[in-house]
Structure formats: C-alpha cells, structure tokens
Amino acid sequence: MRIDRIELIHVKLVLVSPFVTSMGVELDEEHIIIRVDGEGVTGWGESVAEGTPFYSYETVSTAWPVLSGFLIPWTLGKTFSSVGDAIQSWEKVRGHRMAKAGLEAALWDLFAKAEGRSLASLLGGKKDRVDVGVSIGIQDSVPHLLSKVDGYLKEGYQRIKIKIAPGQDLDLVKGIRKEFPDIRLQVDANSAYSLADIPLFKAMDDDRLILIEQPLGYDDIYFHSKLQKELRTPVCLDESIHSEADTLAALELDSCRIINIKPGRVGGFSESKKIHDLCLSRNVPVWCGGMLESGIGRAGNVALASLPGFTLPGDISASKKYYAFDIVDPEFTVNPDGTMTVPTGPGIGVEVNMKNLDRVTVTRQYFTA
Ligand code: OSB
Ligand code: MG
C-alpha cells in the first residue's frame, strides 16, 4: 500500500452537558481527525489528544507538529506491506502516543478497507457485540446523580462508572448503593488521591465496586501497589499505563488487578493488542476506556473491545450521550441488552459524514507525497 496523501483536521465537538472530573470541567472536546489516502482507498483515525494538558501532557498543539514534522514525512510516499511495517520508523519518537495512535488508527482502517475486512476482524476480534457501560461526571448532588444513573440503566447500560474527587466520593458511592444495591458499579479518581487516603478507600471496600480506577499519581505504579495490598477491591490503572512494559511492571508489583486499555493513551491498536495478550495470558481482565471520542475513534474502540480479553464493559457509550450529532453514519447506539453492535463493514464500518465533519472543523492541513 502506497500512502499518497494525509490530512489533519482539528475538530471541536461541543458536549451535550459539561463533563466534570477531578481534573476540571470539560464543555467541549478538541481532537485531531486524520485522513489517509492510498491507492484510491481512504482510512480515518482520531487522535485523542485534547485541547488541555490535564489528562495527558499531549494536546492538539503538541500532537500536530509531531505528526506534521515527523510521523507524516516518514509515512508519506512510502509503500508498506502492513500497519506493523508502517509504524516501525515511529519508534524513534519517544512518547507522543496519542499522536502516533491517531495516524496508526487511520492506517488500520486503510489496510482493513483495502483487504475488504472489518477492522474488528483484522485486529483479531471475536465478538459481534460488546458489553458497554457509561462514565458519569461528578454531579452537584446525590439526587442528581441518582437520576442520571437511573436514566442510563433504563437505556440498557450494563455498568455505571462515576467520577470521584476528594469530598465528592464516599457519599456518592453509598448513595448509589442504597438506591441500586446490585448494579455493576466502579469509580474513577483520575489521580486525585494519595496514600493518606487509604482509610477512605477501605471505607468503600464493602461496596462491591468492580474496581477503583487510577486513585493515585498519574504516572505512579509503585504506590498503587501499596494501596492494592490494603484493599480487596481491585485497583485498575488508566493514566499510568502507556505500554506493554508498564503493564508488566504493574502486574508484577500487584499495583492493579485490572487494566483500562485506551488505544490513544498507549500509542495505538498494536500496543493495545500486546497489552491485551499479556493480560489474557495472566487472566487479568481488561476493558476499553474512552476519551469522549467522535464516532471515528469510537468505531476503533468498539472493534478493539471485540477481542476476547475485554471481559468487562467498556466506557463506550452511544453517540448521543456525548454529542448532539456525530460525524459518522450511522451514529453509535446501545442495544436494549446493554451491548453495542460491532460494525461488520470494511474498516471502521461507518461512513464519515462530511457535512457534519465540516461543522466541527477548526482548521485542516493536508500533505501530499
Ligand atoms: O479517565 O477515563 C477517563 C474522559 C476523558 C478523559 C479521561 C477519562 C474520560 C472518561 C470518559 O471517563 C470515557 C468516555 O465515555 O469516553
Ligand atoms: Mg480513567
């Protein structure tokens, strides 16, 4: 496959409601949509670097020059036999995994379409539907939170994840457990706590949480192992895991017993597969996290989650949970049984809606061989 043209599209998607976490309030989501053309086929990917360096050091304005100055020149005009072949030269760039993942995703879509196969099947997916959950931002009161939870359960979501932050944690968990004793529930702290909070987490240890996501430092593996030893509830790492090597270190140290795989955070589907395979070989459950993606990124997450080791519901929700309109047709919906159907068409299996893409575009730049 010869790569003839690559386009970067800076998009800004307005959320239907503010998303509040321990990191702050998000009103909209800026990402980079990446289009790759080769031999008459078009592939699409999404880089989940955001407008702000709060979840990750990467932003749209760091990913863009890494793509335009390094990854794109190393890819354009070249002929590759596979995605693995194309990304080999990128190892020279340290970090910048969200930049890499966006371009890699577009190449996966391109190769899958060229072979007339779905992305899910090319990645090694086995399921035709994936179990999905919802991530609920911090609400201003427990009654508000309970009504949100109730609404999402009625839509079919199989598990609820709530964001927590110091002072907005135990009351929320206890409040939900009182009203919904049996639902599948987990919490995400986005690194807002320290080991001084061990008593707080112990106080949740009887609430049958599936997991506690990223309670401590965003780059920490060691201190999470101290916390995990004090708890029966599994710790799950998100921010701290950037690679298969990080995953191995975390599992060897017993820093967590579950891994959240986000393809953007770990540098793409290739690294995601390695983490998945390692966890599967050690019977460690994984699930697919989300970064409030448009339908382009969401399609990739759904395909990845169809791999057999993804045994817990993902943060993969319906398009309408996030945005008034999606930039793909058809938009993603949740089945009444709390699953999402894995597209079977070539590549990502959904069509980019060019009119809607234009509506959310801030700037674009294209590169030709
Ligand atoms: O920590 O998982 C997270 C969104 C943006 C950045 C980080 C996180 C999240 C979410 C939302 O929790 C997941 C989603 O529904 O896309
Ligand atoms: Mg998280």
Query: Residue 190 CA: which ligand 1 atom is closest?
Result: 1
Tell me how far the alpha carbon of residue 90 lies from the centroid of ligand 2, in angstroms. 26
Residue ID of nearest Cα to ligand 1 atom 5: 291
Q: What is the mean pLDDT of residues 210-218?
A: 98
Task: Check pocket membership of 291 for ligand 1, CB cut-off 6 A.
Answer: yes
Task: Check pocket membership of 290 for ligand 1, CB cut-off 6 A.
Answer: yes
Q: Which ligand is nearest to the CA of 315?
A: 1
Residue ID of nearest Cα to ligand 1 atom 4: 291
Q: What is the mean pLDDT of residues 13-30?
A: 97
Cβ atoms of 131 and 343 within 8 Å: the answer is: no
* Structure confidence at residue 224 (pLDDT): 98
Task: Check pocket membership of 287 for ligand 1, CB cut-off 6 A.
Answer: no
* Structure confidence at residue 183 (pLDDT): 98
Helix (H) or strand (E) holding 222: helix 222-230
* Structure confidence at residue 310 (pLDDT): 98
The domain made up of 5-116+351-368 has a fold known as Enolase-like; domain 1 (3.30.390)
Q: What is the mean pLDDT of residues 281-302?
A: 98
Please state the domain extents for the chain: 5-116+351-368, 122-341
* Structure confidence at residue 38 (pLDDT): 98
* Structure confidence at residue 168 (pLDDT): 97
Q: What is the mean pLDDT of residues 283-302?
A: 98
- Whole-Å CA distances, 351 to 181, 346, 355: 41, 10, 12
Helix (H) or strand (E) holding 302: helix 295-305
Each residue of 159-169: pLDDT tens digit? 999 999 999 99
* Structure confidence at residue 231 (pLDDT): 98
* Structure confidence at residue 332 (pLDDT): 98
Does 140 or 226 have the greater pLDDT score?
226
Q: What is the mean pLDDT of residues 81-104?
A: 97
Q: Does 274 participate in catalysis according to the annotation?
A: no
Each residue of 317-363: pLDDT tens digit? 999 999 999 999 999 999 999 999 999 999 999 999 999 999 999 99
* CATH code, residues 122-341: 3.20.20.120
Cα separation of 43 and 170, whole Å?
45
Catalytic residue, chosen from 113, 262, 273, 321, is: 262
Q: What is the mean pLDDT of residues 74-100?
A: 97
272 falls in which pLDDT band (50, 70, 90)? Answer: very high
Task: Check pocket membership of 292 for ligand 1, CB cut-off 6 A.
Answer: yes
Q: What is the mean pLDDT of residues 89-104?
A: 97
Does 140 or 306 have the greater pLDDT score?
306
pTM, two decimals, is 0.98
